[in-house]
Structure 1
């Protein structure tokens, strides 16, 4: 039986990430990145996690189901999970406090959004299984350059 309740509203896209050590991964997503448990299925070792700023993700202990190929660390090759927050520096400070290395140090980055430039403060960190997580705070927009 589950504990808690689904997030309201459910995200229209939610990553479900297989993990090799559920307690360690749960600690990373909650203590370091600041997510909270919306609901948990303890027998399955699955948690639906929500961030105060609205992001949602599920993690669950690998059980052999839904594995489309060999699972080798780092997991999630070719995928970056983006988490939008209102205070990227506070999350970066928790990464440092946990003694975790940044994959990409905190930085300001401006990208072409088609008809304008979008700016954000961001960093990248790998979770305990190697999934690449980009934590982002949007900082504004400006006209295209040149």
Structure 2
């Protein structure tokens, strides 16, 4: 169901818009990962998605799109999008049911944020149907640096 964009109260200051080959295939993936459709239009095929505070736009490739050619798979080379979720295992399970294989398996990672502290997250990476690399992560809190 499309809704008037003027009625949507909160847009993040930075929202990536990804060109996709099939909006339907991409929606199948992103909705399985927990995203909901906030706004959708049919011409050109477009969807504005959100998951918690994460927002993302998808637009199906078309002749008038804002694309630098050539667009070759995997799309989005050189970038990954980190999306924090409450339960990363739940997202991984849903994507495995759709036969999406992780680019990097689930693991705990600790990153130094100050000289004395590390912040942890449980994370995995997966490519969407067009090859965009997504890193789903779950906050593990902070600990003293080793």
Unaligned residue ranges in structure 2 (runs of 5+): none
User: What's the CA shift for 1:35?
Assistant: 0.5
Q: TM-score, normalised by structure 1?
A: 0.91
Q: Within 5 Å, which residues of 2 pair with 1:94-105?
A: 94-105=94-105
Aligned twin of 1:118: 119
Residue in structure 2 matched with residue 23 of structure 1 by the alignment = 24
Give me the whole-angstrom Cα distance separating, in 1, the residues matched to 2:83 and 2:9. Answer: 18
Q: Distance in 2 between matches of 1:102 and 1:5?
A: 36
TM-score for the superposition, normalised by structure 2: 0.91
Post-superposition offset of 1:67? 1.3
Q: Distance in 1 between the 2:26 and 2:81 partners?
A: 15
Give the conservation status (yes or no) of the 8 Å contact 2:36–2:49: yes
Partners of 2:28 and 2:130 lie apart in 1 by 13
Unaligned 5+ runs, structure 1: none
Size of the aligned set, in residue pairs, is 142
Superposition deviation, residue 122 in structure 1: 0.4
CA drift of 1:5 comes to 4.8
Q: What secondary structure sits across from 2:29 in the alignment?
A: helix
Residues 25-65 of structure 1: per-residue CA shift (max 9 Å, x gap): 111111x21111100111211000011x2211000101142
**Aligned mates of 1:8, 1:104 — CA distance in 2:** 36
CA contact (8 A) 1:80 1:131 kept: yes
How large is the Cα RMSD of the aligned pairs?
1.5
- 1:86-137 CA-partner distances (Å, limit 9, x unpaired): 1101101101111110000111110112342110000000000000000011
Answer 1 or 2: which has greater strand percent.
Answer: 2
Structure 1 residue 68, shift from structure 2 partner: 1.8
- Aligned residue for 1:60? 59
